[in-house]
Amino acid sequence: MRIHSKLCHIDENRAIVKVSAWENETALGSSLGEGASVFSAEENAIKQLLQRLELGINLSDHYLGKSSEVANLKKQDTIKDIESKNATSKKVKNSDKSIELPLNNSLPNNEDDQPCDWSKELTEIDHQVKKLNWDRKTENEYLKEKLNLSDRNRITSYKELKKYLAMLKFENKEIHNIEDNDSEGKKSLLQESNEILKILQWDVSRAREFLYKHMNVTSRQELDIKSLISFNNLLKIELSDYENNKY
């Protein structure tokens, strides 16, 4: 069995490495790992991949919690054989170790022709998450609800990665649309109050005094849509009294 490592993303805070296992020309599986360094990210990815290979057909039982002893279903000599072959095929360099990370597209790729470098998509995902003001816990809860994944590292296919990115963009778009609608609604209510104040012939001082007395703020900009509606209703009462007294 051969283990291939691919550096997908690295910045000052973390690195993300994808590892794939191959038997001759047959892909056995792949996994993403995240860590503070390239070395720790690769080690995390390899551990996840070896665990999945170890579980084999019992993988779904493990993640769905159907059995607490799934890890013991595989023979220990098979596990040792996988780890032994992996140790001889992987070069790691950290202190007295070495790491070999291919930086080209020469690796065999049977996963729907997906690209080897996911750094662009991973960076965009970070950007979208920041726009949503999510912390890691919130993002993981979203992933669990929408994709049944405990965290981003569980995404092992490019297709699933693109799907998650599209979902994040949709969430940001929805929030943007709501903000735009609120902005238009607020603009309309402010215009309505301006027209009423003009009919009442109130100057800025009197209007501000009325606003502070009833809404406890000094500017209408401080009011949300619900409060603006209440303020306009109070102005309409004043307008009704004004028109009744006028005639």
Per-residue pLDDT of the chain (247 residues; tens, 9 = 90+): 788 788 888 777 788 888 888 887 788 788 888 888 878 888 888 888 888 777 665 655 555 555 444 445 555 555 556 565 555 544 444 444 444 444 434 344 444 456 778 888 888 999 988 888 888 888 898 888 888 988 888 888 888 888 999 988 888 877 776 666 677 778 888 888 899 999 989 998 898 899 998 889 888 888 888 888 888 888 888 888 877 776 6
CA dihedral 191→192→193→199, nearest 10 degrees, is 110
Are 91 and 185 within one domain? no
Last residue of a domain, one of 92, 111, 130: 111
Q: What are phi and psi of 202, to 5 degrees?
A: -90, 140
| Total domains in the fold of the chain | 2
Residue 100 has a pLDDT of 43
**Cα Rg, the chain, nearest whole Å:** 30
CB neighbour list of residue 246: distance below 8 Å, 6 or more residues apart: none
pTM: 0.38
Q: What is the SS3 assignment for 223?
A: coil
Last residue of a domain, one of 83, 111, 139: 111
Residue 228 lies in a domain: yes
Q: For the residues of 105-165, what is the DSSP string, one character each?
A: S-S---STT--S--HHHHHHHHHHHHHTT--HHHHHHHHHHHH--SSGGG--SHHHHHHHH
Q: How many helices (H) and strands (E) does the chain have?
A: 8, 5
Residue 41 lies in a domain: yes
Domain that holds residue 187: 180-246
Last residue of a domain, one of 66, 85, 111: 111
